[in-house]
């Protein structure tokens, strides 16, 4: 793919990007970061990549960028490759823009917008709020308004094509085969859906909820709660503490109401959450402007750990399967899903490669309107199989960490027992039992476990596993049966 040789019909990435100016949004995110570093390392022919970052938590865009370049493992291959010359290479290729996609003109100064309109060949719009139940205002601002402002820039520029990163879950709650196509004004279960009208209604609902939360009756009720909370804490400066607590409660109540509003609207129209609802709205609105854009939409499934780039297994996503894999190593042992359902994950470096390919096709005028980037079509992994693999991974992890654990246990030469804390409840929290749901004999869960850290002769810490005779204590994580 990154080979510099080309034939007439083949796609040469390097030739396509040579001398081209690209704008990237979402560069601080999981996907954007990998795309940026891959481009910088593997497609040095690109003339420039303008990176739009917003200021955050008292850090300017530049400070955030520097922190990311120096601290994120995604940049390790670049540091290795360029060594001391990395900073100058970066400066020759990357220009930083302090902006926010949810603001008109992306929050940029007029002269910056003029330059972009003149220079850009491609906009890679990767910014988005990847939160499933956010405050509806934030989701609309980043996912819908953000996409429209980026489209404004593309439409008003001399030649910039727009690659919009969406998600294949805009399809919503539907079963069976779903065509890989985009439909204007699409909603999974609503007939005669009108996206601009829905946007209007959503904004009206937001305004109504905000007004309700400003009503004196609502504030008076929250004040009572605030007073009760402060009294319970016994704070000295009561007046100030109540004001602070009231503000916190108001913020929290409004956020919750707006999050519920997003979830309800999404569910009514057939989407599983506010994220997919707003991403789909953005697609619908983009399609209405298709005539003024050179547009391609890329829809990945669940973006997951890399195969190769920036390194095998790298993952930074909080919304993918990594948290699922993590919690399955704790006392959560059930995934509420049909075991045969496809668990469509796609490595982040594959997604980044697809973005590059589609970007190149777009600039050459050869791109389709929509591309799906997933694995189920040819390499399906079911939820059941994913659960098995996660269990195997945990088992392997505990097996390999068992040797050092054994040394530790022998060195202490005291049998480990459930912590006193665990005695008050049925949940055991001792070192040995943290991996099980319940301990059948809290405080005395010493059973004879032949694989114990102390050897078969001495009692070890094991647990009665509520569901069967399989021991899952750390020593027995290999699945030893008692």
Residues in the site for ligand NAP, rule: CB under 6 A?
Answer: 25-32, 54, 56, 100-102, 126-130, 142, 146, 165, 167, 279, 300, 302-303, 317, 319-320
Beta carbon nearer to ligand NAP, 314 or 398? 314
Helix axes 86-93, 30-42, angle to 10 degrees: 100
Beta carbon nearer to ligand NAP, 124 or 269? 124
Beta carbon nearer to ligand NAP, 108 or 161? 108
Min separation Cβ 238 and ligand NAP, Å:
37
- Are the C-beta atoms of residues 96 and 61 closer than 8 Å to each other? yes
Beta carbon nearer to ligand NAP, 67 or 421? 67
The three-class DSSP label of residue 297 is strand
Beta carbon nearer to ligand NAP, 20 or 279? 279
- Are the C-beta atoms of residues 271 and 171 closer than 8 Å to each other? no
| Torsion from C-alpha of 2, 3, 4, 10, nearest 10 degrees | -90
Min separation Cβ 102 and ligand NAP, Å:
4
Min separation Cβ 192 and ligand NAP, Å:
27
Q: Is 13 exposed, middle or buried (0-12, 13-18, 19+ CB in 10 A)?
A: buried
Q: Residue 481: what are its φ and ψ, rounded to 5°?
A: -95, 130
Min separation Cβ 258 and ligand NAP, Å:
17
Min separation Cβ 434 and ligand NAP, Å:
29
Min separation Cβ 62 and ligand NAP, Å:
13
Min separation Cβ 58 and ligand NAP, Å:
13
Residue 350 sits at the vertex; the CA angle it makes with 24 and 100, to the nearest 5 degrees, is 20
Beta carbon nearer to ligand NAP, 243 or 317? 317
And the tokens for 14? 């390097």
Beta carbon nearer to ligand NAP, 98 or 198? 98
Reported for 413-417, long-range contacts at CB under 8 A and 24+ positions apart, including other chains, are 415/446, 415/454, 415/458, 415/459, 415/460, 415/461, 416/453, 416/461, 417/443, 417/444, 417/445, 417/446, 417/461
In whole angstroms, how large is the CA radius of gyration of the chain?
A: 27
What are the CA-CA distances from residue 38 to residues 31, 46, 63 (Å)?
Answer: 11, 12, 22
Beta carbon nearer to ligand NAP, 100 or 198? 100
Q: Residue 238: what are its φ and ψ, rounded to 5°?
A: -65, -45
Min separation Cβ 323 and ligand NAP, Å:
12
Q: By beta-carbon distance, which residue lies closest to ligand NAP?
A: 29
What are the beta bridge partners of residue 95?
50
């Amino acid at each position: 793919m990154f080979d510099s040789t080309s034939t007439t019909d083949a796609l040469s990435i390097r030739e396509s990007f040579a001398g081209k100016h690209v704008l990237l949004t979402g560069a601080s995110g999981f996907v954007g970061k990998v795309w940026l570093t891959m481009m910088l390392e593997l497609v040095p022919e690109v003339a420039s990549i303008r990176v739009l970052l917003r200021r955050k938590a008292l850090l300017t865009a530049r400070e955030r960028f520097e922190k990311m370049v120096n601290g994120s493992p995604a940049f390790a291959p670049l540091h290795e490759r360029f060594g001391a010359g990395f900073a100058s290479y970066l400066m020759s290729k990357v220009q930083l823009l302090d902006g926010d996609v949810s603001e008109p003109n992306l929050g940029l100064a007029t002269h910056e917008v003029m330059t972009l309109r003149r220079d850009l060949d491609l906009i890679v719009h990767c910014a988005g709020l990847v939160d499933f139940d956010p405050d509806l205002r934030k989701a609309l601002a980043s996912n819908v308004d953000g996409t429209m402002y980026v489209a404004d820039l593309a439409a008003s520029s001399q030649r910039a094509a727009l690659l919009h990163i969406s998600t294949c879950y805009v399809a919503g709650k539907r079963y069976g085969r779903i065509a890989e196509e985009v439909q204007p004004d699409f909603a999974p279960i609503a007939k005669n859906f009108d996206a601009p009208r829905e946007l209007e209604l959503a904004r009206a609902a937001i305004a109504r909820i905000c007004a309700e939360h400003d009503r004196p009756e609502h504030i008076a009720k929250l004040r009572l709660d605030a007073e009760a909370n402060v009294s319970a804490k016994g704070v000295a400066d009561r007046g100030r503490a109540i004001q602070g607590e009231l503000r916190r409660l108001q913020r929290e109540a409004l956020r919750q109401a707006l999050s519920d509003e997003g979830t309800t609207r999404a569910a009514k129209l057939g989407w599983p959450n506010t994220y997919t609802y707003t991403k789909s709205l953005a697609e619908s609105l983009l399609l209405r402007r298709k005539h003024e854009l050179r547009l391609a939409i890329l829809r990945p499934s669940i973006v997951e750990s890399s195969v190769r780039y920036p390194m095998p297994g790298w993952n930074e996503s909080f919304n993918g399967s990594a948290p699922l894999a993590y919690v399955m190593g704790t006392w959560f042992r059930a995934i509420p899903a049909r075991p045969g359902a496809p668990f469509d994950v796609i490595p982040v470096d594959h997604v980044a490669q697809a973005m590059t390919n589609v970007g190149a096709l777009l600039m050459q005028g050869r791109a389709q309107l929509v591309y799906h980037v997933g694995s189920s079509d040819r390499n399906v992994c079911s939820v059941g199989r994913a659960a098995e693999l996660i269990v195997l991974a945990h088992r392997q992890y505990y097996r390999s960490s068992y040797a050092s654990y054994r040394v530790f246990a022998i060195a202490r030469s005291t049998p480990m027992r459930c912590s006193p804390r665990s005695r008050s409840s049925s949940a055991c929290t001792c070192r040995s039992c943290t991996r099980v749901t319940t301990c059948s004999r809290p405080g005395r869960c010493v059973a004879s476990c032949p694989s114990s850290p102390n050897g078969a002769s001495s009692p070890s810490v094991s647990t009665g596993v509520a569901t069967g005779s399989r021991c899952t204590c750390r020593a027995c994580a290999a699945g030893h049966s008692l």
